[in-house]
Chain A
Amino acid sequence: MELLYDERIDGEIADVDKSGLMAAILAVAPRLTLLDREEDLRPFECDGLSAYRVLPMLVAMPTTLAEVEALMRVCYEHAVPVVTRGAGTGLSGGALPLEKGVLLVMSRFNQILSVDADARLARVQPGVRNLAISEAAAPHGLYYAPDPSSQIACSIGGNVAENAGGVHCLKYGLTVHNVLSVEIITIEGERMTLGGESLDTPGYDLLALFMGSEGMLGVITEVTVRLLPKPEVAKVLMACFDDVERAGKAVGDIIAAGCIPGGLEMMDNLAIRAAEDFVHAGYPVDAQAILLCELDGVESDVQADCERVRQLLETAGATQIQLARDDAERQLFWAGRKAAFPAVGRMSPDYYCIDGTIPRRELPRVLKGINDLSAQYGLRVANVFHAGDGNLHPLILFDANQPGELESTEALGGKILELCVDAGGSITGEHGVGREKLNQMCTQFAADEITLFHAVKSAFDERRLLNPGKNIPTLARCAEFGAMHVHHGELPHPELPRF
């Protein structure tokens, strides 16, 4: 994926005089912080996908909703694109700036407005960190369930924009299942509320539509989340397998038996060795796969479930099963898993994280496919897997200083995603499309489907000013990169120019 916005295939962007634009913005929002010097812009040149870097034309850091509204109106009038950024921890380049665009940084909206323990909800500004919500709710025995691994740093506005997940999604759901309402400012500078404190609202479910829309439909200015009572207890079982396929089947057995674990994670041998070397979690380094199964809830139910799962794991051929003796050991088991990315990072100068989802039954075939591709490209791949919900995170180990290795890593990553789509899955489970996976969108969706996505976009942002060049590829891009579905041997939209 070439990182620079390519007007030839991503769509034209108007040329605007920077000082004129600044004057226009400051005329309506005199106290708005605007950055335009290169050294001030530099910290914003990338998000969590740091291989992609672009300096924005301007950075705006508003502190009031009136400033956001005013900024949007000016950008709308001048046809200047706006890229919204939260904490900048996204892994798909969704907050990658545009050379000809304004980067709207929402991090100063960082207040928890209220925690209502009786109604079990919290109203927060978009720049509030994910973990800060649970910390604020903790004195009431409550917490916010979605826990992406970046939760210490990522902000709730970004979580909504990406529909963030975490290790507990199978039981507790994604962001979409845990947000009651969002406040939006449109590109035309209007405010609207989607959802509410009631459990449903009249009209279309625009709240669901905005979840995971990657800043393409509006700017999120406030979020109301649902809080849950903390489970009484949580216990973790670690099971080792001498065969990846057998571990995969055990996952299915647990779920088929009517058990929904709070977390169900799998790691392959390379990931196990990396994590053990780094964290000393007590993982057996000779195992081909380990499963971590967390069961949470009311004490008596968890006891019964643990017994049930232990028996299933034995029957499934686990070579070793260990129940964390106490909370310290439970934390240690998880520490290995949570540190898997940096652990793999120690084995190699660079690594590249993939985010495909597959139906769980396809796991053996997909893992074999990844192995074959890994050999073919000569790059090692460690596999970390949210096994319960079918979200695969292969980590490709590479060295960016070796000429061509980043390119072949990206190509391998693309192939892995195509494998996921082919298995009936998706190119992204929780990291988003962003800039990174635009081309793979052409694999997952047919031209008519992409056309409908553009129709949705145009209903909210006719002039294509919100985060252009992300999430949904143009048909010209799909045509150029040739990955588009070919139906009955005919290319869709033959009228489009092919470069």
Chain B
Amino acid sequence: MSRKEIAMTHLQDQRPEYTPPNESGPDALAGRDDSEALCEQVARAQAERATLRIVGGNTKAFYGRRVETAQALSTTGHHGIVHYDPVELVATVRAGTRLRDLERALADNGQRLAFEPPHFGEDATVGGMVAAGLSGPRRPWVGAVRDFVLGVRVITSDGKQLRFGGEVMKNVAGYDLSRLMVGAQGTLGVLTEVSFKVLPIPHAHACLRLELPLAEAFERLTAWGREPMPITGAAHDGEALHLRLEGGEGSVSATRQRLGGEPEDSRFWAQLRELQLPFFDGAFDDDAHVLWRLSLPALARTPALEGDWLVDWAGAQRWLKSSEGRGFEDEPRADAHIHEAAIAAGGHATRFTSSANGDSPFTPLPPVLAKYHRQLKQRLDPQAIFNPGRLYAEW
């Protein structure tokens, strides 16, 4: 079963009414402004005291808790690139735009989203990508989704579309609500438009594979990290260290010579980003494993947990194919054990394989932090219209 199908089974009883996005090409650029209808749907939900489950391309439904018995709000009819000026390094895009359409438009101008977001499916939308807040293998060197969000339009709980941030690189007027929306999974409002900082694709790149054990890889990465080296990817699969270099011709070729190793196909990084490497086989579709993402300090000792590990982000993101607790009644206890181990290692863990019991896949928040999360959600969405329970059951 593919991840998409997993996502489907994890989804609701009533599927949302799904509007297929426009085909790519000039139409994708022109797009369609559906914001008025979206505002109306939110206002109606508020009047009827209903709840809304926000859906884009439906590719990341597995990431988070199920939103129970809510009416779907689809953003896919609201699409198109509103404004893109390569000279300004800024692109403003409607939330329902397919991520690949945006990436194609940027690539046509030699630019890209530097944080290389995972798609997890053809239909992934820009809004879903921002709401999920997931970044790819380049994250430790260039930054995360939130680092590239300059502004958003968002529909608030009373059905009004508001604008925060903008299309400028520097803007400290008011609170930074645009970055707050990144990774909030639609629980604070409906994202309708996002402005990104985009970057030029570097002149040169190279991908390398160095066969060496994990401990030695860590040692080398630590030493290299203290030098200005053009590394933009570092992953260890248990056998070899995979490296990606990106920068000017001079620095990439010099670094490549210095580091040695064998050249590798650049598809490795796309497959890692999309969780399609052989390591991930079976992580979603057999009964024996649960896939976990551990976000740890890069130098943290590997937690003593049963399973197979794949290290990305030079150690700051580690994938665990765990055999603990899957399919057993003690699943919640196994989950708690992994969360605790991640906290003890200085980070947190997220369960990527959906859980049967409806527990949050995210590590529980400390009490004071949880209190301010609840209060923030309560103030921005007093009737709890938007994706209730998506992150944590209580709100």
Contact = CB atoms under 8 A, between A and B. Distances in A.
A196 B372 CA distance: 17
B90 interface: yes
Contacts of B170: 165, 169, 174, 357, 386, 389-391, 426, 429-430
B96 interface: no
A479 interface: no
Contacts of A196: 297, 346-348
Contacts of A433: 172-174
B171 A452 contact: no
B171 A429 contact: yes
Nearest to B165: A426
Contact of A208 (B146, B248, B348): B146
Contacts of B363: 202
Interface in A307-344: none
A198 B143 contact: no
A198 B347 contact: yes
A208 B130 CA distance: 15
A232 B248 CA distance: 14
A459 B380 CA distance: 9
Contact of A252 (B87, B140, B169): B87
A232 B133 CA distance: 33
A300 B254 contact: yes
Contacts of B160: 448
B201 interface: yes
A199 B144 contact: yes
Contact of B173 (A190, A231, A298, A444): A444
Contact of A119 (B177, B199, B298): B298
Interface centre among B172, B296, B347 (most CB of A within 10 A): B172
Nearest to B134: A200
A59 interface: no
Contacts of B171: 357, 425-426, 428-429
Contacts of A192: 366, 368-369, 372
B162 A449 contact: yes
A118 B88 contact: no
Contacts of B182: 205, 208
Interface string A417-433: 00000001111111111
A121 to B, nearest CB: 9
Interface in A174-188: 174, 176-177, 186
B380 A456 contact: yes
A437 B174 CA distance: 11
Nearest to B86: A256
Contacts, number: 264
A428 B172 contact: yes
Interface stretch (A122-130, A209-217, A274-282): A209-217
A23 interface: no
A446 interface: yes
Nearest to B347: A198
Interface stretch (B29-37, B225-233, B329-337): B225-233
Interface string B28-64: 0000000000000000000000000000000000000
A53 interface: no
A203 B362 contact: yes
B82 to A, nearest CB: 12
A170 interface: yes
Given A198-B347, A204-B184, A260-B200, A455 B379 contact: yes
Contact of A298 (B140, B175, B247, B299): B247
Contacts of A162: 172
Contacts of B225: 118, 120, 229
A258 B251 contact: no
Contact of A300 (B89, B180, B251, B347): B251
A118 B373 contact: no
Interface in B155-177: 156, 160, 162-164, 166-177
Interface stretch (A69-77, A346-354, A358-366): A358-366
Nearest to A429: B170
A453 B183 contact: no
B348 A202 contact: yes
Interface in A91-134: 117-120
Interface string A432-474: 1100010001001110111011011111100000000001100
B376 interface: yes
B90 A359 contact: yes
B146 A199 contact: no
Contacts of B347: 196-198
B188 to A, nearest CB: 8
B14 to A, nearest CB: 28
A359 B167 contact: yes
A260 B199 contact: yes
B9 interface: no
Contacts of B297: 119, 196-198
B143 A204 contact: no
A47 interface: no
Given A211-B176, A229-B228, A258-B203, A198 B316 contact: yes
A291 B249 CA distance: 26
B295 interface: yes
B248 A199 contact: no
Interface in B244-260: 247-251, 254
B227 A229 contact: yes
A459 B378 contact: yes
Interface string B138-159: 0110011011000000001000
B147 A177 contact: yes
Contact of B175 (A200, A209, A358): A209
B168 A429 contact: yes
Given A198-B316, A424-B166, A258 B183 contact: no
Given A198-B348, A303-B250, A455-B379, A173 B143 contact: yes
A359 B168 contact: yes
25 contacts: A193-B369, A196-B297, A196-B346, A198-B297, A202-B348, A202-B350, A202-B363, A203-B369, A205-B182, A206-B180, A206-B369, A206-B376, A208-B176, A255-B87, A258-B203, A300-B251, A301-B249, A357-B170, A386-B170, A424-B167, A444-B173, A446-B162, A449-B163, A453-B174, A459-B372
Given A176-B176, A301-B247, 11 more contacts: A118-B222, A198-B346, A199-B139, A203-B391, A205-B133, A211-B176, A256-B87, A300-B249, A305-B248, A460-B372, A460-B375
The 9 closest A-B pairs by CB, nearest first: A300-B250, A301-B248, A258-B200, A208-B179, A198-B347, A429-B170, A298-B251, A389-B169, A197-B297
Interface of B: 85-90, 110, 133, 139-140, 143-144, 146-147, 156, 160, 162-164, 166-177, 179-180, 182-184, 188, 199-203, 222, 225-230, 247-251, 254, 295-299, 313, 316-317, 346-348, 350, 362-363, 365-366, 368-369, 372-373, 375-376, 378-380, 391-392
